[in-house]
Each structure stands twice: as C-alpha cells, then as structure tokens.
Chains A and B, each alone.
Chain A
Amino acid sequence: MNKFKKINIFALGWNGLFIIVPLVLMTILSFSTTRGFSLQEIEFSLSNFSKLTESFYFIAFKNSLKYSFITTFICLLIGYPTAFILSKSPIKNKNLLLILIILPSVSNLLLRVLAWEKSFAANSILNYLGISLNLLGTDLAIIIGMVSIYLPFMILPIYSSLEKVENSVLDAAKDLGATKLFTFKKVILPLTVPGIISGIVLTLLPSATTFVIPLRLGNGKVLLIGNIIEQSFKKTFNFNMGSLISLILMILILSFMVLIFKYDREGETL
C-alpha cells in the first residue's frame, strides 16, 4: 500500500506541475494584459475577449473548421474501405499489413511535412521526371498533407471495430436471405459506428489544431487556429491572446469529448 501511495503522490505532483500550474497561468494570462511573462505590470481586464471579434481570428477559426472537416471526411472516405478490405483480406498475417499502415506515423511528423513541402515546390526532385507540382500554398497541398498524416488514426479504430463483428452474425444475416449490400447497411455499418466515431475524433481534433502542416504546406498564406497560437507566443509575444485562444480551443475539444462519451454509453468508442 505504501508503495502505491508514493506513486500516487508522484502522479499528483506531476499532474500538478505540468497540467494544473500551466492551466492556472493560462487562465490568469487570458484575463489580463501583461508584458510577456512578467507579472509585474499585470492589469486584469477583459480586453482580450473584445479582440476575439477581429476578423483575423474569425478567419483562422473558420479555416481550422474547414480543413479539419474536409480532412476528416476524406479520411473516412478512404479509411473505411481500406479498413474493410484489410479486415476481409484472406492474408493470414494481417498485423503485418497493419504495421505497414502505422509505420509512417512512427517517423517524425516534421520530417513528413517537409518531405511533402519539397515535393510540392515548383522546383523539386520531381522535375527530373518532368513533373512540377507547384502546389505550395494551395488548399490541395494542405489537405493532401493532413490526410496522409491523419489517415492511420481513422483506419485503426474502424479496423478494430470491424474485427469485432463476429462471422457468425454475418452468417446469420446471409441465412436470413440478406444480400451483401443489405448486410453491410443493416449489420456491419451499425456495428462499426463506435469505430467510425473514434476515427472521426482522432482525425478531427489533431487536424483542427495543427500548425506545422498549414505553416509549411500553406506557404505561410493559410492561417489556422494553431498558427495563431504559435504566432502569439513566438512572434508577437502576445501571451494573453495566445492563452485565451488555447483555453477556448481546449474547452471546445473537451465539450466535444463529453458529447461523445455521453452518446457512447457502452465505452466502445475511445
């Protein structure tokens, strides 16, 4: 028991130091104006909130929604059939195929984004093949980048929910006269809804908050909410605004998760 107590205290301390303290700091910063981190000239006000209405933030928020929804939708469109084919594949070693899908995610994100950036540039190694993509700064570039990076997060949960559908249930549908399409619509699809939901959550959230992908592939022209936060801390040193937007984003994500948990009473989604 004593040992567990020690671990508990350690965990509590860890959480306190790296979650609670930053949260408190962010909350304080959100409701005040300061010069950087210096709390000496702190003035509490709600002026940050009034700045939120500036079109600049509005556009970033809209962009975040737009890119993350498009990305998630495309991921679902590609991911479900991929997971379906994978789960139905007669190959014995399905795990190997799965690893092939996950493997890219193990490499550094920045590296992958940079690889796309170099290939999308007007002058790239592809010129040798007579191709010049010249896509940098376009919506297409950002969406290709996002989809390629977040697709595994869509495939995996859907795949595992498909694997959970018992063969005998599919036999039963067939036994009762159902065609393949009917079985898919009335049995397989409803039984894999939990996998679809977690796939959506796992792609929507990171793609809504990413800042590296639009920064590199958008050629700096496209701003997402993640870019605004990054810039507030690194370029304009407006820590107050950065904190406020981070907090708002966090609340949005948390309420989204709460909704999912409420819907998914059986705990199969996440």
Chain B
Amino acid sequence: MNFIQLKNLTKVFDNNEAVVKNINLTINKNEFVTLLGPSGCGKTTILRMIGGFTEVTSGQIILDEEDITNLAANHRKINTVFQNYALFPHLNVFENIAFGLKVKKLPPEEIKQKVDKVLTLVKLTEYQERKIKSLSGGQKQRVAVARAIINEPKLLLLDEPLSALDLKLRQELQYELKDMQKHLEITFLFVTHDQEEALTMSDRIVVINNGEIQQIGTPESIYNEPKNKFVAAFIGESNIIAGQYLGSKKVKFFDLEFECVDTEFALNEKVDVVIRPEDFDVVSSEKAKIVVKVDDIVFKGVHYEVIAYYGDFELVIHTLEHLQIGKVIGLTIDPFEIHLMKTDE
C-alpha cells in the first residue's frame, strides 16, 4: 500500500502565487483517484508536478518507495493522457501508439504485437493507418489513452481527458476508462472539474479548492457527508442553512428543532446544515414543521425542481410530484438526511 505519496507538496510560481499548498495524499495500488475542483484550483499543477512537467517548489513525490521529486519526466514510470490529446500530428495512429516503445528500442515485431493488442482494447484496429487529422474527438481520445497505457506505467495521469467531448460520448468513455482501469490494473489519477464524472468513475475523490485539499473520501461519503460549505456546494446541489447544535442529536435551524444523527459537535455550537434537494419529502402543510409556498417549478426530466422561500431563504427541492405554483406545501426531512458541518467562520 501507500503506492504513491505526496508529502507537503507545494508549488509557488515566479510571481509568488502559491497555487498548490502543502498537499498530503496517499494513493493505493490500482486505485482510481480523482482530483476534483473548479478551474484554477491547482489540480492540473499537482498532476504536472507528478508527471514531471512542472518543478516542485517544496515537498516530496514518492512512487513505489522511490523518491521521484526531482526525476526528469522521461525517466518516470508514469504516463499522461493530456487535456488536448497532444497527439503527434505527423504520425499515424499506429506510429503514435508505438512512440513509447520505439523510444525503448523494442524490436519491430514486438512493437507490432503490443500495438495490435492495445488497438483492440481501444477498438481502433481499423484506424491504425489513419492520419490523426482525420479522427474524431473520441477517436483521438482513444489514441491518447492507448499511447499512454501501452507503456504499462505504474501510474496513469489523466488531465481532463474527456472535457472536449459531447455528453453522450463522455459518458460512454467514462465507463470504458473505468473498465480499462480495472482490467489493466493500473493506478489512475484523474483530474476533472465535472463532479458527475468524478462521482461515476472514482474509488476515491480528492476535492481541491485554492490549492488546498478540502476533503478526501469515497464518492458516497463526499456526497453524503461534505466536510464544509465548499464541498457541499461544489458536489451536487444543496441547501446550506445556518443552524445550532442543541446536543443529544438535536439541531435547530429556521428557529425549529429537528432530530439528526450527527453527534460530534459541542453543545450550542453553530453549524451549517446541509440538506440535498432530493432529501426533502413534500407532504401536506399540516403534517410538517416547514411550510412554504411554491414559487417556481422547472421540469428537469426525471424530477421537477421546485423553488420555494422560507422567509427570505431560498430552498431548492427535487420532487417527482407535479405541484402548482402558489401551492402551500409542507416539507419533512428524515433525521439521517440532515447533515451537519462545522461552519467556516
């Protein structure tokens, strides 16, 4: 275990701007880990430091018990799938994929054999003679993945590899990549700003903002138990309400008392209460503590998104029921769906 370790990894650019601050992260062998965060949060810089393309200001990168912090990129047993594919425009599909093996001076028969195998894996066998220019976005993506995994890296870095593709293709490739990762037993470190992508593919998600880790956890725990306001707001939709912990699994918000399941707070401690829009149950007004009037309804396909105001506070509610604007409804929440977080202040 502890296959990859980032120890106090920090990057300060020439203009004294710290883009990555003191990152500590451990990744296990064959794990699929996603760095998730908004653009400019430093996730790509972390990836580039691991890949060897950006110098580390301070801290350590350890891969399989070897300190690779200052090793040149071409000596690291790491391969990268770049954001804009970065394929060699003068080479065809076969030659692009074979590049890494040619660097290693493998005999041509062995190269051919290995490339054929990878071509089958990414379903591009008929395209091997094609010029890169004539490929579609999805095909280019497959070539980029094939070109990286053929080298059997210890770690595969993927820098927003699907961001340029349309939704359907993106989803398709998400499953394929996940499959491939299980199959090949390669450790994947994936960078994305798309929370849905992160939730779908990852074994663990590392949420990053402003160059700092906000939370590390499984997709379920990140979604259900966000550690702070940023994570709650960034992953999925949520209603974040200021509240107070009353002790013995009771919390007060909207000046009402609710039962909850969290216990790790002090008596009368101020907390942020997170309620996911789909966790509200719509009931008739006399059966609930929270009573609101429907302000707006948007049809979202599977569900309706209902906007309602409790006082001045805008609540977002997802429900399967078709309500009428202006209707007065009651909202109940199961105790285990009320999630408390420490306030940021």
Contact = CB atoms under 8 A, between A and B. Distances in A.
B231 to A, nearest CB: 31
Most buried by A among B75, B89, B148: B89
Contact of B103 (A182, A190, A191): A182
Nearest to A178: B103
Interface stretch (B78-86, B114-122, B266-274): B78-86
B96 to A, nearest CB: 9
A168 B73 contact: no
B90 interface: yes
Contacts of B86: 166, 168-169, 171-172
Contacts of A169: 86-89
B318 interface: no
Contacts of B83: 168
A interface bracket (residues with beta carbon within 8 Å of B)? 10 to 19
Interface in A30-75: none
Contacts of B99: 173, 176, 178, 186
Contact of B82 (A171, A186, A190): A171
Interface string A114-144: 0000000000000000000000000000000
A174 B89 CA distance: 16
Interface in B61-81: 72-75, 78-80
Given A176-B151, A177-B74, A179-B74, A171 B88 contact: no
Nearest to A190: B90
A175 B90 contact: no
Contacts of A20: none
B79 A168 contact: no
B interface bracket (residues with beta carbon within 8 Å of A)? 20 to 34
B104 A172 contact: no
A172 B72 CA distance: 13
A172 B48 CA distance: 12
Contacts of B38: none
A157 B79 CA distance: 33
B87 A172 contact: yes
Nearest to A189: B90
B88 A172 contact: yes
B202 to A, nearest CB: 23
Contacts of A109: none
Most buried by B among A172, A173, A175: A175
A187 interface: yes
A182 B101 CA distance: 13
B90 to A, nearest CB: 5
Nearest to A179: B74
Nearest to A171: B53
B134 to A, nearest CB: 13
Contacts of B72: 174
Given A190-B90, A191-B89, A191-B90, A178 B84 contact: no
B73 A174 contact: yes
A174 B54 CA distance: 12
B147 interface: yes
Given A172-B80, A175-B73, A177-B74, 15 more contacts: A169-B87, A171-B53, A172-B82, A172-B88, A173-B88, A173-B99, A175-B78, A176-B151, A177-B75, A177-B103, A179-B74, A182-B103, A186-B99, A187-B90, A190-B90
Q: Which 6 A-B pairs have the closest CB atoms?
A: A168-B86, A176-B100, A172-B86, A177-B103, A174-B73, A190-B90
27 contacts: A168-B82, A168-B83, A169-B86, A169-B88, A171-B53, A171-B73, A171-B86, A172-B82, A172-B87, A173-B88, A173-B99, A174-B72, A174-B73, A175-B51, A175-B53, A175-B78, A175-B82, A176-B103, A176-B148, A176-B151, A177-B74, A178-B103, A179-B74, A182-B103, A186-B102, A187-B90, A191-B90
